[in-house]
């Protein structure tokens, strides 16, 4: 049982580290704010929530931490849940503000908001 | 098994440090304020995972408590910046 938890946790951790690197390269290399927003979401959910879930499994399987491993489990689960809820909400608020401020270049192939002429209000 | 876990955590810590450097480059270079906020956003989520990794690696679970606060703080930064920009505009 412990071996399965450790292996699953390590797998999630390695996948998360890979996605974090992908998101970091994307946020550095992609052109335009909205493309970078896409890369940032990869690094927020794939690179932070997934490895935190893996770390919660890993920490509960490591017996040598004693009872404190449940503290680590709780922190990891709460942080992963908060990231899952708050990262999309924050990214959406940022995208909305960027679109409406006019500071960011809007080089879209199709802009449904401008087409409807209604905006977000 | 513990040895394998420690080795994997060392490699993953290096990966997170490398991506933190890339986020930092974007936060400094970012042409608009939104790019900077986005980079700081990603950097803080990175740091939250990094804290838990460090807690496991050093065997000190109390280090990890900052991860929850960091995720809440970065959401408040997002909301504050977007509200400010939408209601008052930036620059002049």
B contacts of A82 (beta carbons < 8 Å): 68, 71-72, 75
B89 vs A: CB within 8 A: yes
- Are B86 and A100 within 8 A, CB to CB? yes
**How confident is residue A107, by pLDDT bands cut at 50, 70 and 90?**
confident
Q: What are the boundaries of each domain within chain B?
A: 2-88
B contacts of A121 (beta carbons < 8 Å): none
- Are B26 and A62 within 8 A, CB to CB? no
Q: Which of B68, B79, B90 sits opposite A93 (nearest CB)?
A: B79
Alpha carbons A54 and A71: distance in angstroms, whole number: 15
Q: What are the boundaries of each domain within chain A?
A: 2-104
Cβ pair A38, A8 in contact under 8 A: no
Query: What is the share, in percent, of chain B residues with pLDDT greater than 70?
Result: 95
**How confident is residue A54, by pLDDT bands cut at 50, 70 and 90?**
very high
B contacts of A104 (beta carbons < 8 Å): 32, 34
Res A74 pLDDT > 60: yes
pLDDT in tens, B38-66: 999 999 999 999 999 999 899 888 888 88
- Are A52 and B52 within 8 A, CB to CB? yes
Q: Tell me how far apart the terminal alpha carbons of chain B are, to the nearest angstrom.
A: 59
Instruction: Report ipTM for this prediction.
Output: 0.86
The residues near A70 (Cβ < 8 Å, ≥ 6 apart) are A60
């Amino acid at each position: 049982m412990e071996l399965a938890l450790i292996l699953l946790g390590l797998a999630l951790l390695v996948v998360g580290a890979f996605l974090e690197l992908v998101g970091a390269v994307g946020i550095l290399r992609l052109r335009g704010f909205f493309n970078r927003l896409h890369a940032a979401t990869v690094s927020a959910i794939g690179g932070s929530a997934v490895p935190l879930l893996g770390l919660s499994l890993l920490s509960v399987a490591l017996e040598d931490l004693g009872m404190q491993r449940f503290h680590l489990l709780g922190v990891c689960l709460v942080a992963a849940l908060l990231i899952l809820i708050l990262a999309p909400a924050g990214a959406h608020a940022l995208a909305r503000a960027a679109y409406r401020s006019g500071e960011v270049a809007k080089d879209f192939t199709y802009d449904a908001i401008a087409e409807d002429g209604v905006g977000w209000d | 098994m513990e040895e394998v876990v420690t080795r994997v955590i060392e490699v993953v810590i290096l990966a997170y440090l490398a991506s933190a450097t890339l986020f930092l480059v974007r936060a400094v270079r970012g042409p608009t304020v939104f790019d900077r906020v986005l980079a700081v956003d990603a950097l803080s989520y990175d740091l939250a995972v990094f804290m838990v990794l460090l807690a496991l690696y050093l065997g000190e679970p109390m280090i990890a408590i900052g991860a929850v606060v960091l995720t809440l703080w970065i959401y408040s930064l997002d909301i504050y910046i977007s509200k400010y920009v939408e209601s008052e505009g930036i620059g002049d």
